[in-house]
Amino acid sequence: MSNTVPADLPRMFRPEPKLSAVPTQPTGRDREALETKAAQASVDAQFPLAAQLVAEPAPRSWSFVDRRTGFRHEVTCLPGCVVSHEREIALGVVAEDVWCMTAETDDVWLPVSTGGKPADEVRLLAASIRQDPFDTNLAKRVPHAAVEVMEDSFIEPLDPDGLATVILGLEAQLKQMRAVHAQLVELRAQNRVEL
Ligand SMILES: [Zn+2]
């Protein structure tokens, strides 16, 4: 049996065309939510960094007892801090040893030989932002960059200009390293053993 509606039926008997989705009028509250969402999406698109910052959880606050003085200190973590601070909270710590740190850049491990000894895999050029809120060096009490040149060998505390200087120095060094690479490729090509 066909579902086709005969064309000659009076208008009043014709079923309404089926809609894939029934449109409804948004309520005032729905409309407000939609407008807020649209405005936020627009701001996020224009300011991706701001969107990232807004998306981050609020900084953690915690306290610890200074083992040297017995005083309790309040700490508000550096935004993005990845240190758990469980040990400091549970056991106390000397205030100068408190530090917050953001996640380090991805690791680069390369075999490095020191003093003619067999090479060890060593982590190179990791960077993160740190804050040591009770450090005797005041420059470390504010957010600063730390560049781990080689395991346990740091350049810090770096302010933005300091970090830029490190980056420019490394860029210049990489440029020279590329030139050395091109020279090596050329020399190896010249001296290739032909059979
Ligand atoms: Zn922290």
Total count of residues recorded for the chain: 195
More confident position, 188 or 5 = 188
| Angle in degrees, CA 10, 13, 14, rounded to 5 | 95
% of the chain with per-residue pLDDT over 70? 70
Rounded (to 5) percent helix, strand, coil in the chain: 35, 25, 40
State the distance from the centre of ligand 1 to the C-alpha of 98, rounded, in angstroms.
8
Distance from Cα 78 to the centre of ligand 1, integer Å: 6
Phi then psi for residue 97, to 5 deg, are: -90, 5
- With a CB cutoff of 8 Å and minimum separation 6, the contacts of 125 are 105, 108, 147, 148, 149, 170
Question: Which of 111, 159, 163 is CA-nearest to residue 131?
Answer: 159
The lowest-confidence range among 41-45, 131-135, 167-171 is 41-45
pTM over 0.75: no
Residue 6: is its pLDDT beyond 70? no
d(C-alpha 124, C-alpha 13), whole Å = 80
For position 15, what pLDDT does the model report?
Answer: 43
Ligand 1 center from residue 13 Cα (angstroms): 72
Which pLDDT belongs to residue 56?
A: 60
Region 44-55: mean pLDDT is 58
Ligand 1 center from residue 123 Cα (angstroms):
23
Going from the Cα of 95 to the center of ligand 1, the distance in angstroms, rounded, reads 13
pLDDT bracket for residue 193 (50, 70, 90): confident
pLDDT band at 59 (very low <50, low <70, confident <90, very high): confident
